[in-house]
Amino acid sequence: MKSLVYAIVPARSGSKGLPNKNIWEIRGVPLLGYAIKFALKLDIDKVICSTDSVEYAELAKSCGACVPFLRSPAASGDEAMEEHILEDLYEKFCEVNMPIPDIIVWLRPTFVFRDFVAVKEGLEFLKLNSNYTSVRLITEAESRLYRLKNEELFPVFEEMKGVSMVRRQDISPLYRVYNTDIFRFNRATIGPNFLGDKVKGIPVHKICGLDIDDELDFRIVEALILSGNEIAKHYLL
């Protein structure tokens, strides 16, 4: 049976670190627009923007997304987590008699660079492997991290034993998540563990891990795009 797949672009309007960051523009395109344009290339059943804002909804529609309803206030506040957004989506799908998707591709607008091939790979993998609950695209992170406790540094990696420096290649790699998630969606899976317990990780280029959280992040991403850098162009679809 064919799986019903929706891409969801979550874009609330209440960001505190960078107000209205989801609609900041680079080359005339709002950040949510980059996510929508990427989703439209995936050839899936629906591309939906989940937002609490009429302004955002109109922008999302102009970029090609469907906005069949606005997100509820309870799923839009500063304390709202993604499971609350998913619960809101499920309830609204039922209210408007929209078919419930089997799989969701979760595209956060603050990650502008995306690996199309990896997303397609992850989507097909999840369709074919029913024992897996989700797929996450991941980027390699710095492994040699420290905690600061009472102004004193403590390594959080085991390889630091009586030496002052450790080579990156001598430590098992660690990964950042959150840029793109693909997961099964039904009433039973909605909750804090909505990704489930069997998650496949697909490593992608580290540029895909650039998250826009404040203005400096935005300017870095903007500069990469405007520079005409070949890597940036490749991952900006």
The CATH number of whichever domain residue 41 belongs to comes to: 3.90.550.10
Q: Model confidence at 110, in pLDDT bands (50, 70, 90)? A: very high
pLDDT per position as a tens digit, 115-135: 999 999 999 999 999 999 999
Does residue 154 form part of some domain?
A: no
pLDDT per position as a tens digit, 32-59: 999 999 999 999 999 999 999 999 999 9
pLDDT per position as a tens digit, 219-230: 999 999 999 999
Tally of domains in the chain = 1
Does residue 163 form part of some domain?
A: no
Does residue 69 form part of some domain?
A: yes
Helix (H, G, I), strand (E, B) or coil at 207: helix
Does residue 77 form part of some domain?
A: yes
CA distance 220 to 39: 23
Q: Give 209's contacts (C-beta < 8 A, 6+ positions apart).
A: 111, 139, 141, 176, 179
Q: Model confidence at 16, in pLDDT bands (50, 70, 90)? A: confident
Give the angle 213-218-221 at the CA atoms, nearest 5°: 120
Give the range of the structural domain holding residue 18, as residue numbers without chain letter: 5-140+175-234
What is the enclosing helix (H) or strand (E) of 1? none
Give the angle 126-132-136 at the CA atoms, nearest 5°: 65
Q: Please state the φ and ψ torsions of residue 58, each to the nearest 5 degrees.
A: -65, -40
The single-letter DSSP state of residue 71 is P
Mean pLDDT for the chain?
Answer: 94
Contact 9, 110 (CB under 8 A): no
pLDDT per position as a tens digit, 158-197: 777 777 788 888 888 999 999 999 999 999 999 999 999 9
Mean of pLDDT values over 136-159: 91
